[in-house]
Amino acid sequence: MTSAVSVRGLRKRYGEVVAVDGIDLEIGEGEVFALLGPNGAGKTTTVEILEGYRSRDGGEVRVLGIDPRVGDRRWRFDIGIVLQDAADAGELTVSETIRHFARYYPNPRDPAEVIDLVGLTDKARSRIRTLSGGQRRRLDVAVGIVGSPRLLFLDEPTTGFDPEARRQFWTLLRALAGNGTTIVLTTHYLEEAEVLASRVAVIVRGRIVAQGDPATLGGRAAADATVSWLDNGEKRTAGTHDPAAVVGQLSARFGGPVPGLTVSRPSLEDIYLELIGDAS
């Protein structure tokens, strides 16, 4: 798999504070990769170094094959960035905004196509100040992708979204990934990371403490299962490595279906909270 991002021993210090302490990362082209961690863990500093907006104190970094410290205009044309908080010109329309930003790039996507992709066609002539929070966030993404980036950075993209808007936004990101765009996502929503990302990394105090598939992160797939059932109306639970055996025993005991039976393993949130410990 060709790497879109390659990081070895990344370090960054602010005075006496070590923000990033020897991070290694490898993100493949076309991958959706999520960076997780509590506030102050080093996520934003790491991403800003990858974007070329912050210097590093040590380590090797390659983004689309180039060291961000020396990335030229041509390199930046291949990078899309959607910040957590973006200022906008409220009196411009959606269409005017996208057409304006398209002029900065040598080979931009068609503005009308981009507006349609983010689901704002019916708002194309609306002024930005009249848009809802979710619609403004879609506009932010439109600005981020109008230059046809190979790599898209998204910082907390669905903060403030209601559940329906968040799921609509996920559909948009899946479409972008399906078209080959590499996406680096920072988010506090564990469900979002699990739904979208093929791999995640958890950063705590400037170090990666776990990295991998959301389904197996931190030994999640091999963790004990919890079997729950009702016994004379009272809930009973048992932790086990072999839930099938426990269910079989319960079925034999009850002579058929087990009342209130559920079998569950730790959620990504359970594993995440365990990994970050008291850093949250």
Q: 7 φ, ψ to 5°?
A: -130, 135
Q: How many CB atoms lie within 10 A of CB 10?
A: 24
Which pLDDT score, from 0 to 100, does residue 278 have?
59
| Burial track 223-254 (b if 16+ CB lie within 10 A, e otherwise) | bebbbebeeeeeeeeeeeeebeebbeebeeee
User: What does the alpha-carbon distance between residue 180 and residue 263 come to, in Å, rounded to a whole number?
Assistant: 37
Domains of the chain, earliest start first: 3-213 (3.40.50.300), 219-279 (no CATH)
User: Residue 89 has what pLDDT?
Assistant: 74
The tens-digit pLDDT sequence of the chain (280 residues) is 689 999 999 999 999 999 999 999 999 999 999 999 998 899 999 999 999 999 999 999 999 999 999 999 999 999 999 887 666 677 899 999 999 999 999 989 999 999 988 889 999 999 999 988 778 888 888 898 899 999 999 988 887 677 887 888 888 888 888 888 999 999 888 889 999 999 999 999 999 999 999 888 877 777 788 899 999 889 999 888 888 999 999 999 999 999 999 988 888 888 888 888 855 5
Q: What is the DSSP string of 190-243?
A: HHHHHHH-SEEEEEETTEEEEEE-TTTGGGGGGSPEEEEEEETTEEEEEEES-H
Instruction: Write down the pTM of the prediction.
Output: 0.81
Distance CA 114, CA 107 (A): 13
Q: Is-contact 119 150, C-beta < 8 A? A: no
What pLDDT, on a 0 to 100 scale, did the predictor assign at position 279? 57
Cβ(68)–Cβ(213) below 8 Å: no
